[in-house]
Amino acid sequence: MTLPSTRDIPVLIVGALLPALQQAVEANFSATRYWELPDAKAWLAEHGAAVRAIATTGAWGASAELIGQLPSLEGIFSFGVGYDSIAVDAARDRAIVVTNTPDVLDDCVADTAMALILDSLRRFTESDRYVRAGKWQQARFPLATKVGGKKLGIVGLGNIGQAIAKRAAAFDMDIAYHNRNPKAGVIYRYVADLDVLIEESDVLVLAVPGGKHTDRLIDARRLALLGKNGYLINIARGSVVDQEALIHALEKGMIAGAGLDVFAHEPAVPERLLALDNTVLFPHLGSGTFETRQAMSELVLENLQGWFLNDRKVVTPVK
């Protein structure tokens, strides 16, 4: 992972990276840990003009305010597929390249989505709690819901959405999807009207990017369309769902359940969600495997190397 001839290039690391990635960036660049600066404002005033790159994550992002204080900034190199936390428009206005790490995490995120589907309908983790609490000795665990044959609606049939569909097909689910436009070359049924897809679905999976275009895409009205027998699965972004409306719908039995890997204000999870048995809650672990995180780290470094050592060529620019 050594990147020769880059040791004097100033890189601002916005927030903590995975240890191996952070070590590699710090070993090969003149890196500064922004989140540890005792006086970030003073540091930026003195050193900001020299910074040529930002290393960040989908969680830490890069604000327009920060970008504006780095006049020599050439690139923002992010660990993660989502980039709604990065002021992409501000970067584009100055021809600053932005990269992310797509594709390499598709399988693991899709695995997570399928796990949430199975767990939400079959109540596996709920039954685990039941056994551990000694309740099995008093009564049999209640019946759950079969997965095979259920109608699965996928909102966002990008690479991750397609990987989810492939897994769901193996469980004999009836798959349909909604995108802004039909996806060429796929066998699944396209539904142009999102409301219609939701009404038709037993299970609704959200696999869209975050950002202003999808903010609270699933609100109280659309949760009502999903109905009392419907399940919501979110591996996209917490912002895609009106979280308060979701909690209300779960508490009142307006939908059957939810499987969530993302939340509105991570890592904070509302106590009302924690108290519900009809929820499966994961700590944003979609891509959380050794293999995938290693591949993501290598892609961040490959993008950095491509920009500074290979005539400003990056592998995965945000378009």
Residues serving a catalytic function are 237, 266, 284
SS3 content of the chain, % helix, strand, coil (to 5): 40, 15, 45
CA distance 125 to 141: 12
Q: Are 52 and 9 in contact (CB under 8 A)?
A: yes
CA distance 319 to 303: 14
CA distance 112 to 114: 5
Q: Output the CA torsion 135→136→137→140 (10° steps).
A: 120
Roughly how many angstroms between the first and final C-alpha of the chain, as a whole number? 26
Place of tokens 């500064």: 32
- CA geometry: angle at 92 spanning 88 and 97, to 5°? 85
CA distance 302 to 108: 21
Q: Which residues are paired to 11 by β-bridges?
A: 31, 53
Place of tokens 């009142």: 252
Q: Are 206 and 218 in contact (CB under 8 A)?
A: yes
For residue 259, give the nearest of 276, 239, 242 by alpha carbon. 276
CA distance 231 to 219: 14
For residue 30, give the nearest of 51, 1, 16, 61 by alpha carbon. 51
